[in-house]
Amino acid sequence: MGAPKIVRVGLATCGIAAGADKVFQALAQELTGQQDVWLKQTGCLGMCHNEPLVEVLTPAGESYLYTKVTPEKATDIARRHVLGGEPVRDWLFDDGHYLAKQKRVVLRNSGRIDPESIDDYLEAGGYQAIAKALREMTPEQVIGELEKSGLRGRGGAGFPTYLKWRLTRQSPGRPKYIICNADEGDPGAFMDRSVLESDPHSVLEGMLIAAYAIGAREGYIYVRAEYPLAVKRLKLALAAARERGFLGENILGSGFDFDLKLREGAGAFVCGEETALMMSIEGKRGMPRFRPPFPAESGLWGKPTSINNVETYANVPWIILNGGEAFAQYGTERSKGTKVFALAGTITRGGLIEVPMGITIREIVFEIGGGIRSGREFKAVQIGGPSGGCLPASLADTPVDYESLTQAGAIMGSGGLLVMDDSACMVDVAKFFLDFTVKESCGKCTFCRLGTKQMQAILQRITNGEGREGDLELLEELANSISRASLCGLGQTAPNPVLTTLRFFRDEYEAHLYEKRCPAKKCRALIRYQVNPDRCNGCGLCNSYCPTNAISGEKKRPFSIDQNLCTHCGLCFNVCRHEAISVN
């Protein structure tokens, strides 16, 4: 029997949402029972824009990637290519630059292995790093290797990982805990979801190594409840690791004991903050507490605790196996290694990418992302979610590293990278993030609780065309006070989206304020929808959707909108198939 052909289907949440489960069934129907064909589920290859994805690997190691596969296409691919031996050329993916500029460390196994199979992970070199650490390295040597690598926390703040580990190790209290922060709450960020859905064991292995280095015997993974598939695959991974003796007592005969508990978050953004997260694990309201003492001294239940995020842990096994220097050869002087970004917005090729630090925003947007989808103009990127900022197209040559981004007014953040074209209103975007922080503020600090509400009210009236003289200055004053007088990262960074848009897009604020005009035609109170009689064929679809019956007319004749009744919801604009509705 020769080597089998392998057919892989990406079954992460994005793939499933695009119909990959039906594609898998269609393939299974054709291929089950076939000799020398191995149909596998796998995680995310990162090309969300092209889901569902099917990859055919020949015994000789050639790879053929099919994109946007439907169940019908899958049947054809199974018959013509897998069984017939003839690739269906028309449907093959032309790689372009999507993968060429990327370097996969964290995502090394994503889209390649079956995330529900520990054997797949082992075959890909899994659990060799922990074996190496236990057999050949002292805990101090492990930490030394991390120091050489220059790895910094990937959750956003960028604290050196080795230092966090060393401080926790040296802290006198017992027992010590480690925590994996998988409470990925930034809207527009899905790096951790994808890693957990595609390669959960790499995170567990990273945690094992951390536990060995720190001297912890117990750990927690705190994962967002909105990620049911990640939770399911983590549970499977934990059970498999326990069964194979990678978790539990006397791991690999080394005398090292360690076990992990899974905790599901309950939908509070602030729990991504480390002290709030620990309060939540303790069964309380997730409200941050004052630091110092830092968790390394007094964390979970007052014991020394080291807390890192998913991506940070996923880097660790690679660093131990390949050495800190190998990792440090990627990146810039002070930001080493790679970073995973969730690329979304009005971009041609959205998805999950991993790039060496120091790459420019322009390279990400145009060479990897393929530029703006609509053919419109590239306007800005929002980086770092509600704590980050909007950088204009003119700063597209900013290198992506911790220092450069901070200097430009944004932050690295956890990795959400949202691309916007000129149809995005920056005042509206700032208001969106502020609405979010107002909702998610835990209420502990007055400035965060009430200050953000005041900022929201000001933005609301500006977008309503009711802005007042001095509003922009007042926004800035409030922003600075909130940053200074809030305890945790949520409040300290909440004004960033407003501050950066004020800095780079002040003219848009002024247009709203003084001219009562929304240049991007987004703010409802400042726009008018009209029917263009030349394009309207009188189908009446808009009329049937209009919530206020503002649209009237006779079938087959141009309709019209009563401006007194119109609430500017934009539904007619969205449903019209003839582009007959214009917005001014």
Partner 1 sequence: MEEQLHAAVAAILRQYDHRRGNLLPVLQAVQARLGYLPPEAMEQIASAFGVPPVDVYSVATFYAQFRLKPPGRHQFKVCLGTACHLMGGHTVLDCFERRLGIKEGETTPDREFGLERVACVGCCALAPVVVVDGRVEGRVSPTRVDGLLLSFSLEKSRRETPATPTNGGGGSPYGA
Q: Per CB under 8 A, does 125 bind partner 1?
A: no
| Type of residue at 453 | K
508 binds partner 1, rule: CB under 8 A: no
Among 93, 159, 294, 432, binds partner 1 (CB under 8 A): 432
Q: Give the C-alpha separation, 103 to 100, whole Å.
A: 8
Stretch that binds partner 1, among 44-52, 82-90, 444-452, 469-477 (CB under 8 A): 44-52
Q: How far apart are CA 259 and CA 219, in angstroms?
A: 6
Cβ closest to partner 1, residue 120 vs residue 440: 440
Q: Which of the stretches 148-156, 277-285, 289-297, 328-336 binds partner 1 when contact is defined by CB under 8 A? A: 277-285
- Does 118 engage in binding with partner 1 (CB under 8 A)? no
> Which of residues 64, 91, 121, 190 is near partner 1 by CB under 8 A?
190
- Closest CB 384 distance from partner 1, rounded Å: 11
* Dist CA 475 CA 452 (whole Å): 10
Sign of the CA dihedral with 507 first, then 512, 516, and 519 last? positive
Among 156, 356, 385, 495, binds partner 1 (CB under 8 A): 385
Residue 512: closest CA among 477, 460, 451, 571:
460
Contact 73, 82 (CB under 8 A): no
Does residue 122 interact with partner 1 by CB under 8 A?
no
Q: How many residues bind partner 1 (CB under 8 A)?
A: 61
Of 147, 117, 141, give the one whose Cα is nearest residue 42: 117
3-state class (DSSP) for residue 83: helix
Tokens 């909440």, located at residue: 494
**233 touches partner 1 (CB under 8 A):** no
- Token representation of residue 583: 């917005």
CA distance 570 to 584: 12
Per CB under 8 A, 238 contacts partner 1: no
Q: Is 545 in the site for partner 1 (CB under 8 A)?
A: yes
Q: Which C-beta is closer to partner 1: that of 350 or that of 451?
A: 350
Per rule CB under 8 A, is residue 185 in the interface with partner 1?
A: yes
Does 5 contact partner 1 by CB under 8 A?
no
Question: Which residue's CB is nearer to partner 1, number 485 or number 575?
Answer: 575
Q: Does 538 bind partner 1 (CB under 8 A)?
A: no
Residue 274 within binding range of partner 1, rule CB under 8 A? no
Give the nearer residue to partner 1 in terms of CB position, either 143 or 542: 542
Region 293-352 residues binding partner 1, contact defined as CB under 8 A: 342-346, 350-351
Residue 189 interacts with partner 1 (CB under 8 A)?
yes
If one asks whether residue 227 binds partner 1 (CB under 8 A), the answer comes out as yes
Q: What is the DSSP string of 279-335?
A: HHHTTS-------SSPTTTS-GGGS-EEEEEHHHHHHHHHHHHH-HHHHHTSB-SSS
Q: Does 575 bind partner 1 (CB under 8 A)?
A: yes
Per CB under 8 A, which of residues 165..184 are in contact with partner 1? Answer: 184
Assess 478 for contact with partner 1 (CB under 8 A).
Answer: no
DSSP state, 2? -
Nearest to 226 by CA among 262, 198, 268: 268
Q: Which of 96, 228, 245, 470 binds partner 1 (CB under 8 A)?
A: 228
DSSP string, 450-487: IIHHHHHHHHHHHHTT---TTHHHHHHHHHHHHHHH-S
Residue (of 480, 507, 493) closest to 425 by Cα position: 507
Q: How many helices (H) and strands (E) does the chain have?
A: 24, 17
User: Closest distance between partner 1 and the C-beta of residue 450, in Å?
Assistant: 18
Toward partner 1, which CB reaches closer, 115 or 185?
Answer: 185
* Residue ranges in contact with partner 1 by CB under 8 A: 13-14, 16-18, 48-49, 51, 184-190, 193-194, 225-228, 263-269, 280-286, 342-346, 350-351, 382, 385, 416, 418, 420, 424, 429, 432-433, 436, 440, 442, 545, 547, 569-571, 574-575
